[in-house]
A and B are shown apart, each in its own frame.
Chain A
Amino acid sequence: MDIQFLLSLIVGISIGGVAGYLGSLMLGRRMALVAGPLGHLTLPGIALAMMYDFDVSLGAFPFVILGIILIWLFEMRTKLPMEALTAIVFASGVAIAFLLLPIKQAETALVGDITKVNLEESIVSIILTFFIFFVIKRIYSKIVLINISEELAKSEEVNIRKYNLIYLGSIAIIVSLGVKMVGGLLTAALVAIPSSSSKNLSRNLTQYSFGAMVIGIISSFVGILIYKITGFPAGPLIILASTAIFLISMVLKK
């Protein structure tokens, strides 16, 4: 079997699965869309990575951190709703990227390209996704409690700052890995769609969280497989596979 294809498939399903799993926490907090602006903000980082030829996730990461700090600062300083703030950050990210980005490479930056991932990148990505999976599994119930009510969590002596920091750090890493797969434009979909589908089909938390992960894995698998057959870009195909599952979940909704 084609080694490059196998690498793409393994990296794709591990990032897709963990992004879905993380998404199930973000959806609960109405934060799924935050991944969108964060993804867009990575565009200048991806542009730099492409210009100087290094891993796009590495280029993206500092910009995600910058995005998280900016959104957090804006929220503290202004009383604007979160959506408005993320829109400001998002638009600025895209604007800067288009100033920097060589137009030929725009497509990869915007919609990703998992099919060219090399062995070194693959190993790092897989180790990181597994690490993040275990981190999220560990903090999951605490974040759910914080999502339900910060006061209830505080009354249970949950250290909200600590858990939020770990949570945001996990988001930053998954968004950075996600841009490698589906690009800066589609990262939000990687976390939002599998968890939305899983929500439609679940009756409890275990079904919901692991369902989101499984749907993330299936979407990545199907997307990359269709790329292999048709030659269309894998990033959009992964998202469309995810959307198809979402539509099915709406029909089957419990």
Chain B
Amino acid sequence: MEKGIILKVRNLNVILDNQSIIENLSFEVKRGDVLTILGPNGAGKTVLLKTLLGLIPYEGEIEWAKGIKIGFVPQRLPFIKDIPLSIKDFFNLKGVPEKEIEAILNSMGFKEDFSRKRIGDLSSGQFQRVLIAWGLLGNPHVLLFDEPTTGVDISAEETIYIFLSRLKEERDLTILLVTHDLSVVYKFSKSVICLNRLPICYGSPEEVLTPKSLQMLYGGEVRYYKHTH
């Protein structure tokens, strides 16, 4: 694999229940990039993320650079509230040393006694932050992030994207992010894949997100595209 490339995908095809979910997708991710996977609901974005994680069978080629550690931030965990689980318990499930858990909690601005809180008692912003911390345990090089809840502020000062930008700088992370929120792409990412089963565009947002490609992606008139002022 060429230097600086962290992930290479060639002619990826995913078929689930006899239905083609992703067709002929090829792209590359460089170290330190933020790649957004953009598309409407049901476009195969989450499937792509899971395929990259090795959770779903596929045809084609997915090649991660050697020795790369991947952290996964899931979208939702609907069953987590069925169990009395403190934040610390949740992190312990990952089997990383206690010290590392404390370090992550500190670096994310959680206070000491916060880790004893029940997951079920967290606000959605706090829960989102806990999920990101989960992804960061084990010091991954790449963070795969499935559709952060947009509109949820992670703390009084930060939206989730400001928070992620800060994390990326601090930890030299490469981030792959699934979203259907167009504003995120412009604010946050270096490159974008537009996906609606078939790949529709791939490149830097400024170059590839044209009214035409967005119309193809979302099927109708799309009014939002980059404001130049």
Segment 89-117 of B: residues with Cβ below 8 Å from A: 89, 92-95, 116
Indicate if B168 sits at the interface (CB-CB under 8 A): no
Q: Flag if A148 contacts B83 (CB, 8 Å).
A: yes
| CB within 8 Å of A: which B33-52 residues | 50
By a CB distance below 8 angstroms, the chain B residues around A205 are: 83-86, 89, 92
Contacts of A100 in B (CB 8 A): none
Please name all residues of chain B whose beta carbon is closer than 8 Å to the beta carbon of A204 when the two chains form the complex: 84-86, 88-89, 116, 118
The answer to whether B79 has its CB under 8 Å from any CB of chain A is: yes
Q: In the complex, which residues 117-152 of chain A have their Cβ closer than 8 Å to any Cβ of chain B?
A: 141-142, 144-145, 147-149, 151-152
Residue A243 interfacial (CB < 8 Å):
no
Q: B82 contacts which of A30, A141, A155, A207 (Cβ < 8 Å)? A: A30
Q: How far is the CA of A141 from the CA of B82 in the complex (A)?
A: 15
Contact A156:B83 (CB < 8 A) given known A204-B88, A204-B116, A205-B89? no
- Give the chain A neighbours of B93 by CB distance below 8 A: 141-142, 144-145, 148
Q: Are A155 and B95 touching (Cβ within 8 A)?
A: no
Answer yes or no: B202 CB below 8 A from chain A CBs.
no
Residue count of chain A within 8 Å CB distance of chain B: 24
B77 in contact with A148 (CB, 8 Å): yes
Q: B-facing mask of A137-181, CB < 8 A → 1, else 0? A: 000011011011101101110000000000000000000000000
Nearest-CB distance from B118 to chain A (Å)? 6
Nearest-neighbour CB distance to chain B for A171, whole angstroms, equals 17
Instruction: Report Cα–Cα, A142/B94, bound state, in Å.
Output: 9
A-B contact count (CB 8 A): 65
CB contact under 8 A between A149 and B86, given known A141-B95, A204-B118: no
Produce 1/0 per residue, A186-205, CB < 8 A to B: 00000000000001001111
Tell yes or no: A62 within 8 A of B by CB: no
> In the bound complex, do residue B77 and residue A203 qualify as a contact, i.e. CB atoms below 8 Å apart?
no
How near does chain A come to B175, taking the closest CB pair, in angstroms? Answer: 16
Q: What are the residues of chain B within 8 A of A155 when measuring CB–CB?
A: 53, 55, 70, 72
Closest to A151 in B: B55
Interface assignment of B199: CB less than 8 Å from any CB of chain A: no
A50 to B53 Cα, complex, angstroms: 53
When chains A and B are docked, how far (Å) is the Cα of A29 from the Cα of B116? 23
Least CB distance from B78 to A in Å reads: 8
Query: How long is the Cα–Cα vector from A81 to B77 in the complex, in angstroms?
Result: 21
Of the candidates B70, B80, B89, B94, the one having the most CB atoms from chain A within 10 angstroms of its own CB is: B89
Beta-carbon contact of A141 and B53 below 8 Å? no
Besides A144-B83, A204-B84, 12 new A-B residue pairs in contact (Cβ under 8 A), listed by A number: A29-B79, A144-B93, A147-B82, A147-B83, A149-B79, A151-B74, A154-B54, A155-B53, A155-B70, A202-B84, A203-B86, A208-B83
> Could you tell me which A residues sit within 8 Å of B by CB distance?
27-30, 141-142, 144-145, 147-149, 151-152, 154-156, 199, 202-208
Residue numbers of B with Cβ under 8 A of A are 50, 53-55, 70, 72, 74, 77, 79-80, 82-86, 88-89, 92-95, 116, 118
**13 pairs, CB–CB < 8 Å, chain A vs chain B:** A28-B82, A29-B79, A141-B92, A141-B93, A152-B72, A155-B55, A155-B70, A156-B94, A199-B84, A203-B84, A204-B89, A204-B118, A205-B86
